[in-house]
């Protein structure tokens, strides 16, 4: 095996070992919290528990629960870097998943906390990834790209950072590059809570390139892992619509709109989603929006 492949194999093994150790720490922390009561638990245990909830946040309710745990840590330790990152990351994910009802307020507080955390520790990969996500939501896409690249440089087997960087590249109008990053992330983490992000990124990139079969394959995988995400259902509906599988496309779109009734038209979605380059929106108009219209989503 040549040195480059050997190094990659070693990184993948280390990543799997870290995830196994993390699960064991989470189980132990959860047991202690159950015994002590959440309000009186050790802040270190609370942080572990908060991240466990965050990583399993398939609904807005679970994400909010993780944020509340981080808020409790910040009450106990006002300078806690981990708590600031956790709250900032949760607020950004809330916006990104179309769950937020106070978008600008969530982004403003996330920015404050994440910048404070990075000032305290500039080499925390999770803080950099969270800021990368926030910069994407602010449509500061080149800054988003730099933050994700920094996160990957700090932690080379951070699979979710590859996928989130891929989404930023999609929004910069570079879906081909996003596919390469998605594949790399899946090599580092072929299973686990974050994998639906990888599938969703790959599905969206293939959809924008007009690769309909691949888009359906990856968005089906993402939806099977977590059927409660609006964007995943919407992407699958668009891909099916673009292929001409209209009965299923309409049924999936109905499920998407049940999850977010207020995002029931292209105009309303565009009003919420204020991020993306002109190149991205041009690609989307030729592919995704065509599929959604065929599935029954109106323009207004």
What pLDDT sits at residue 4?
A: 44
Contact of 179 with 199, CB cutoff 8 Å: no
105 and 61 within one domain: yes
288 and 205 within one domain: yes
95 and 11 within one domain: yes
Give the Cα separation of 138 and 133 in Å (integer).
9
Q: Which domain, by its residues, includes 278?
A: 159-300
Average pLDDT per consecutive 10 residues, the chain (300 residues; last block may be shorter)? 44 40 50 54 86 86 93 95 97 93 96 98 97 98 98 92 96 96 83 80 97 97 87 96 97 94 93 95 97 97
Residue at a domain's end among 156, 172, 202: 156
Give the Cα separation of 148 and 128 in Å (integer).
6
What pLDDT sits at residue 238?
A: 98
Give the Cα separation of 189 and 167 in Å (integer).
17
Q: Which contacts qualify for 147-152: CB closer than 8 Å, 24 or more apart?
A: 150/125, 151/125, 151/126, 152/125
What pLDDT sits at residue 30?
A: 54
Residue at a domain's end among 93, 128, 156: 156
What pLDDT sits at residue 225?
A: 84
Domain count, the chain: 2
| Radius of gyration of the chain, Cα coordinates, nearest whole angstrom | 19
166 and 143 within one domain: no
Please say whether the dihedral angle defined by the alpha carbons of residues 135, 180, 228 and 30, taken in this order, is positive or negative.
Answer: negative
217 and 141 within one domain: no
257 and 168 within one domain: yes
Give the Cα separation of 223 and 276 in Å (integer).
23
| pTM, rounded to two decimals | 0.85
Residue at a domain's end among 106, 127, 156: 156
Please name the residues in contact with 129: beta carbons below 8 A apart, sequence gap of 6 or more: 89, 147, 148, 151, 158, 160, 161, 164
How far is C-alpha 247 from the chain's CA centre?
29
200 and 116 within one domain: no
171 and 106 within one domain: no
What pLDDT sits at residue 9?
A: 42
What pLDDT sits at residue 200?
A: 93
183 and 85 within one domain: no
144 and 186 within one domain: no
What pLDDT sits at residue 37?
A: 53
What pLDDT sits at residue 11?
A: 43
What pLDDT sits at residue 18?
A: 41
For the chain, how long is the longest CA-to-CA vector? 57
Give the Cα separation of 167 and 163 in Å (integer).
6
Q: Return the CATH number at 72.
A: 1.25.40.10
What pLDDT sits at residue 5?
A: 46
């Amino acid at each position: 095996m040549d040195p480059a492949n050997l190094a990659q194999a070693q990184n993948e093994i280390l990543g799997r070992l870290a995830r196994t150790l993390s699960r064991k720490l989470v189980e132990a922390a959860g047991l202690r919290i159950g015994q002590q009561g959440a309000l009186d638990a050790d802040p270190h245990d609370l942080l572990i528990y908060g991240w466990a909830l965050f990583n399993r946040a398939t609904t807005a309710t679970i994400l909010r629960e993780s944020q509340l745990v981080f808020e409790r840590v910040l009450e106990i330790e006002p300078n806690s870097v981990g708590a600031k990152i956790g709250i900032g990351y949760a607020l950004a994910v809330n916006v990104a998943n179309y769950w937020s009802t106070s978008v600008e307020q969530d982004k403003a507080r996330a920015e404050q906390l994440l910048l404070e955390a990075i000032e305290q520790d500039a080499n925390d990969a999770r803080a950099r990834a969270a800021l990368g996500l926030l910069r994407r939501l602010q449509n500061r896409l080149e800054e988003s790209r730099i933050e994700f690249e920094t996160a990957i440089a700090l932690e080379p087997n951070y699979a979710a950072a590859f996928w989130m960087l891929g989404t930023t590249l999609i929004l910069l109008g570079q879906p081909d590059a996003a596919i390469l990053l998605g594949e790399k992330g899946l090599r580092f983490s072929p299973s686990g809570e974050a994998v639906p992000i990888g599938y969703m990124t790959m599905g969206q990139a293939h959809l924008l390139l007009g690769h309909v079969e691949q888009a359906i394959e990856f968005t089906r995988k993402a939806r099977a892992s977590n059927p409660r995400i609006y964007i995943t259902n919407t992407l699958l509906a668009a891909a099916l619509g673009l292929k001409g599988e209209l009965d299923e496309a309409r049924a999936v779109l109905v499920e998407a709109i049940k999850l977010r009734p207020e995002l029931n038209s292209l105009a309303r979605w565009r009003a919420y989603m204020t991020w993306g380059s002109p190149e991205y929106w041009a690609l989307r108009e030729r592919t995704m929006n065509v599929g959604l219209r065929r599935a029954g989503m109106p323009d207004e």
